[in-house]
Amino acid sequence: MQQKNGFFIDALHIFVLCSFALAQPLFDLLSRRVQFFVAHGSKPVDVILLVLILCILLPTIAVLIEWVAGLFGRPIRKGMHGLVVAGLVAAIALPVLKQMGRFSGATLLMGAAILGVVAAISYIRFHPVRNLLTVLSPALLVFPGLFLFHTPVFKIVFRGGDPIAVYPNVDATAPMIMVIFDEFDITSLMDEHRQIDPIRYPNFAALARDATWFRNTTTVADHSEYAVPPSLTGNYSGRLRLPTAADYPHNLFTLLGGTYDLKVFETLTQLCPDQLCDSSTSRESFPERMESLLSDVSIVCLHILLPPDLTTGLPTIEGTWKDFVARSSGTEKDTKRKKRNWETRDQAWLFDTYIESI
């Protein structure tokens, strides 16, 4: 009976350490970058499953490894438990050590390993250390609870249905085309007279001759997720609002959706409700969404844990919100995936698909 209680206490401590080493760093980062979930087209079930994987599945795997080791004897299980504790403490220490100065990756790994070994020895030898982990066990509920209920992720998990039940009918039949060029410098189109250069850009120049254009036009924000909604709503973006139809229910799509058939391509926003737009994200199946989400979360986790000079071989996470591996890899498998699923947000592929739809 005492051995069973000891095993369950050890398992509880692994769950606690996993929460501090893996779950909470990711929760903290993703709660401040909710656009990550918007770009992935994540549904409530996707986010909840991610939380369950981080808080339950991963520590359960570690506990099962210990249980298997215990089949060969209690000392072997205890030794395996000490190794797991040392590894998780080292994972907790690495991000902290990274903030203490510019050290080489090998130095940081060695420092984290030493701290992990010292912590594991202290854990095995001193009851107060083990009791501390027991006292910290409420973190198993606090961390996911804060992530789901007290961050902008709440809007992803507990969003309502269609924000507008009935769409207005607009007395118009003319076809409409609207294109937003992200991070597009309009001065690059102009000649020395501040007119669109007809030699370099003949089609833009032809359009300008029969249209009204504003050479001094500019955006109202420096990030796409805040710059696009004003163009479609006429209202300034709020830093606490997500670029989704739930947060911006009155937009160009909902205005015209009752009259027009919409063909919409959105890469970083979800302003068109699923009821109106057959968007790429709404066509993604649950396995496809989770594959993309878990792949990208694992890359983000490695960037959090590893020293900078040890992340050079990892896919970059700068300048994009999704498909880090597919963007960095040139393998035949990833190339076929891009061609098969334009949902990968490959910009060139999206552009070609848009042109073909006109």
Residue 37: both structure tokens together: 């979930």
Which of the residue ranges 98-102, 130-134, 164-168 would you say has the lowest mean pLDDT?
A: 164-168
Contact 98, 302 (CB under 8 A): no
For the chain, the domain total comes to 1
* Banded model confidence at residue 224, pLDDT cuts 50, 70, 90: confident
pLDDT of residue 268: 79
- Reported as a single tens digit per residue, the pLDDT across 291-311 is 889 999 999 998 999 888 888
- Identify which of 159, 73, 112 has the alpha carbon closest to the alpha carbon of residue 307: 112
* CB neighbours of residue 55 within 10 Å: 23
pLDDT of residue 278: 61
- Reported as a single tens digit per residue, the pLDDT across 184-214 is 888 888 988 888 999 999 999 998 888 888 8
pLDDT of residue 118: 96
- Identify which of 243, 265, 247, 245 has the alpha carbon closest to the alpha carbon of residue 255: 245
Given a cut of 70, whether residue 69 has pLDDT beyond it is yes
Q: Please check whether residue 315 lies inside any domain of the structure.
A: no
Q: Please check whether residue 200 lies inside any domain of the structure.
A: no
pLDDT of residue 2: 54
Which percentage of the chain shows pLDDT scores above 70? 85
Which percentage of the chain shows pLDDT scores above 90? 38
Given a cut of 70, whether residue 340 has pLDDT beyond it is no
Q: Please check whether residue 179 lies inside any domain of the structure.
A: no
Q: What is the DSSP string of 55-106?
A: IIIHHHHHHHHHHHHHTT-HHHHHHHHHHHHHHHHHHHHHHHHHTT----HH
pLDDT of residue 314: 83
Contact 55, 298 (CB under 8 A): no
324 or 343, greater pLDDT: 324
Which of the residue ranges 51-60, 95-104, 171-180, 327-336 would you say has the lowest mean pLDDT?
A: 327-336
Mean pLDDT in residue range 36-44: 86
- Reported as a single tens digit per residue, the pLDDT across 122-146 is 999 999 999 999 999 999 999 999 9
349 or 8, greater pLDDT: 8
- Reported as a single tens digit per residue, the pLDDT across 249-260 is 889 988 888 888
Q: Please check whether residue 74 lies inside any domain of the structure.
A: yes
Residue entry with tokens 């710059």: 227
* Banded model confidence at residue 353, pLDDT cuts 50, 70, 90: low
* Banded model confidence at residue 165, pLDDT cuts 50, 70, 90: low
Strands (E), 9-72: none
Q: Please check whether residue 319 lies inside any domain of the structure.
A: no
pLDDT of residue 354: 62
118 or 317, greater pLDDT: 118
pLDDT of residue 271: 87
pLDDT of residue 163: 60
Given a cut of 60, whether residue 282 has pLDDT beyond it is no
pLDDT of residue 281: 47
- Identify which of 24, 15, 18 has the alpha carbon closest to the alpha carbon of residue 143: 24
Given a cut of 50, whether residue 351 has pLDDT beyond it is yes
Mean pLDDT in residue range 334-357: 55
What is the domain range of residue 47?
2-157
Q: Please check whether residue 248 lies inside any domain of the structure.
A: no
Mean pLDDT of all residues belonging to the chain: 84
Mean pLDDT in residue range 217-240: 84
Q: Please check whether residue 98 lies inside any domain of the structure.
A: yes
Which of the residue ranges 7-11, 102-106, 236-240 would you say has the lowest mean pLDDT?
A: 236-240
Q: Please check whether residue 41 lies inside any domain of the structure.
A: yes
Residue 150: both structure tokens together: 């007290």
